[in-house]
Amino acid sequence: MSRLILQKSYLLLMLLILITLVLDVVFFSSTLEDAQITYRYSLRFSEGYDFGMWNRTGFPVEGFTTFLWMLYLSFFGPNLDSIVYASKITTVFFHLSVIVLFFSLHVKFYNGENHNIFKGSEKIASKAFLFTSIVVAIFLPLSWYATTGMETVLFMTLIAYMIFFPMLTSNIIILSSLSILLVMTRPDGIMFALASPLYYFWITKNRQFITIATVALITFIALAIFRYNHFGYFMPNTYYAKSANTIGLMHLKAGIFYFGAFFITYIYIFIPIILMLISTVLSKKIKEREFFLLLLLGIAIYFIILAKAGADNFSAFPMWRHALNVFPLIIFCMFYSIYSLYPKYSYVLSSIIVLLLFFSPIIFSIPTSQSSFLKEQLSNSIKKFPDFSNDYKNNSLLLWLKNITDENTTIATSLAGELPLTVDAYHLDILGLNDEYIAHNGKFDPNGPTDSKTDMAYVLSKRPNIIEGYMNAKKILKNEELKIIINSRKKMNQDLIENSIFQNEYFIITNAPYETFNRILFIHKDYYEKLNEKVIIKVHPVNKLINAIKNVKEIN
């Protein structure tokens, strides 16, 4: 009988893997902007340039999302398509592997194997792990992130393995390798890479876990020393571009909204956890109580740290990218809570929540743009299926720009992924993620997003040949609602337009194909005169933008 049940269990695992593959493949053509930034770094390194070169000349800078991810993808270069497909296939693999992890734990505890954490509650743990594997398989934001080229699902999987894999094995080589990968993926990985082995040492007294924690710490220190020697700083440039030299109130407000919106959207998974917290404190099962209190405390600390840093901009990283890193941990706690507190209704409640977690990302999310975004992504992906080509290859504006530039052209852009990846030129990152000076010396827009640090005087002092403006090209060319130019990234746009170098030396390009990509382009007059001998470029003075700024100021 037990053998028959086990066979059915593995059939269910195969079904979950199949569902995951289908959902991941549906989203396969979608690629995020930050992934494209990492692709460019990987491409340069695979071409033989120094580690951390975004441009072919200049100084190295750590503007990529994750140290390990950039290094890993570079092994598939210098062919860009190989890098792109490697990023997507790898994260799909990790998506599947975390499902296998939770399902393996389900089978382990279903068979009644004793465990000092869940002693006497093995069946509850088994069901919680089973439903966690189901949610990880069918949760659409995870399928979307698994194929965006980002490291999100990789980092999520490593965290889950670091916390739960010691329940399957205490193999020092495997767990040490996990801790190294976790630390090298993101700076906040050290938190889980240290906490997990120290906790397991505490409950098992197995000294191997001290060794694993030591390996994690040594890796973190070695990485910090390498960063300092190679880049001149202990943290990635992206950290300084988003968090340094600021009181942090703007970031704290953004972070509270970020995780607050996540909490409200998925309140139904947090209510059981809150109730379990109360019962856990009163529980006589000491090991179980310690595990959940420490796990939930770790999740809370993780949220607090990221809230202080401002977390992510919704427009840049939809569906709560940072929250997804610990999403399986939250889901496991939630299902364990339901089976502990409501055993009579647990299966029904768990089934309802599985359905909610499948449909809610495309029906209801706060902010509402989140659900509409995923709905649009799903619709576009289904229409394009089985076309797996990436969007950056089909952007007519960027392809047009590519035809009028070369690797010696200087382009200033706030679109640091798609544009530099498509247009092989020397790029200045206006927002500082890939520029050391702006990251350390730029100023934040007090009313802007968390990645709003800029220094337009510095950018214009470089006299870039082309400036990609964070403005509505169609409205500017039609002279409609010009005040919109200072309502989106207001400080950056205002500092650009009010600068005398911009006013005296730049033109608006009017004949670029803005139909498919609505970002205005400006051209330096010297570069315009040089190109005009070979290419027909139509331009317009920037006076209308200057007047628009004055008019809006007078109205205000």
DSSP assignments along 69-134, one per residue? HHHHHHTT-S-HHHHHHHHHHHHHHHHHHHHHHHHHHHHHHHTT---SSSTT-HHHHHHHHHHHHH
Average pLDDT over residues 162-175: 93
What pLDDT does 486 receive?
A: 57
Mean pLDDT for the chain overall: 87
Alpha carbon of residue 428 to chain centroid = 22
Average pLDDT over residues 18-27: 93
Task: Give yes or no for residue 355 having a pLDDT over 90.
Answer: yes
Residue 429's H or E segment, with its range, is strand 426-429
User: How far is 189 from 348, CA to CA, in rounded Å?
Assistant: 36
User: How far is 453 from 414, CA to CA, in rounded Å?
Assistant: 11
What pLDDT does 176 receive?
A: 96
Task: Give yes or no for residue 314 having a pLDDT over 60.
Answer: yes
**40-71: pLDDT as tens digits:** 999 999 999 999 999 999 999 999 878 999 99
What pLDDT does 305 receive?
A: 84
What pLDDT does 555 receive?
A: 40
User: How far is 136 from 330, CA to CA, in rounded Å?
Assistant: 11
Q: Is the dihedral of CA 464, 465, 468, 469 positive or negative?
A: positive
Task: Give yes or no for residue 283 having a pLDDT over 70.
Answer: no
Q: Count CB atoms within 10 A of the CB of residue 323.
A: 23
412 three-state secondary structure: strand
What pLDDT does 1 receive?
A: 43
- Both tokens of 84, joined, read 């792109």
What pLDDT does 129 receive?
A: 95
**205-237: pLDDT as tens digits:** 899 999 999 999 999 999 999 999 999 998 898
User: How many helical (H) and strand (E) elements, i.e. helices and strands, does the chain have?
Assistant: 27, 6
Confidence at 139, pLDDT banded by 50, 70, 90: very high
